[in-house]
Amino acid sequence: MAAVSTSKIFKDDIFKDKVLLCTGGGSGICKGLTEAVVRHGAKAVIVSRNKDKLEKAAQEMRNSTGGDIFAVSGDVRKPQDMENAVKTTIEKFGRLDYLINGAAGNFLSPMQHLSYNAFRTVIEIDLLGTFNTTKAAMEYIKQTKGAILNISATLYYTGTPYQQHAGSAKAAIDALTKHWAVELGPHGVRVNGIAPGPIGGTEGMDKLGVGFEEETVPMGRIGDVKDIEQSTVFLLSEGASYINGVTLVVDGGHWMNPNYVAYPAMVHNPINFKGML
């Protein structure tokens, strides 16, 4: 069964007057998540380093949704950039209700070819970026009793080959989700995560899913961005008002299949992938 649009599942105005800040919102899955939240009434600010690409994405989403979407260029590794993104959000829209930490970096590499700098860079983008953005936004989200959503992955659940850098970062992000859920829960703020499975039509899948076989997914199909959109809308909505500290796996049961090979083409011919490092 194919994924369906959130507009066929949730009321159109469930996020009316709410404001979202999304890192990595200019492309891939997080662009879809931003668009879905805006379609349901929210205003949004998207953040990434490439200003031209970001502005183009914001315009595309304004055209497709008729919503109010503002682009702020910034590097999640730099706390001052994230403080500026939050400040701009407040100046533009007057409040901040939802934060999606989606900025990430990844590539395939066996350990012997993974440089010290490459490992550190992924940790900085994924883990430190999540911390920097949340710390900058936290006090404003407390005021609105909003919600935070960290985009994770299932890589470390089974020790995925050639993914120790990203897997380590996502494991730490899942830990932060739990810590923040406990710390911020008393302030009325919910903190959850989503761990997407193999999602078709994304840059990540194009780069990392070489040789992927749909038969390895118990549900019998590759995922769609709409699958992650549905989970996002639910977790940010009042329908999830008592869900806190959970990382929701949205992968059709893929990680639990003992017969799957994550990257079959690379496992069988690792030398062919050295140029990707």
CA–CA separation, 51 vs 16, rounded Å? 27
DSSP string of 10-53, one letter each residue: S-TTTTTT-EEEEETTTSHHHHHHHHHHHHTT-EEEEEES-HHH
Pairwise CA distance, residues 172 & 31, whole Å? 24
Q: In whole angstroms, what is the distance from residue 175 CA to residue 172 CA? A: 5
Yes or no: say if 186 and 218 are a contact pair by the CB < 8 Å rule.
no
**Are 252 and 197 a contacting pair, CB within 8 Å?**
yes
**Bridge partners, 19 (sequence order):** 43
Distance CA 230, CA 215 (A): 23
Instruction: Report the SS3 class of residue 143.
Output: helix
> Which residues have a catalytic role annotated?
152, 170
DSSP 192-213: EEEEE--BTTSHHHHHH-TT--
- What is the Cα gyration radius of the chain? 18
Q: Where are the alpha helices (DSSP H) in 21-163?
A: 28-39, 51-65, 79-93, 116-123, 129-144, 155-158
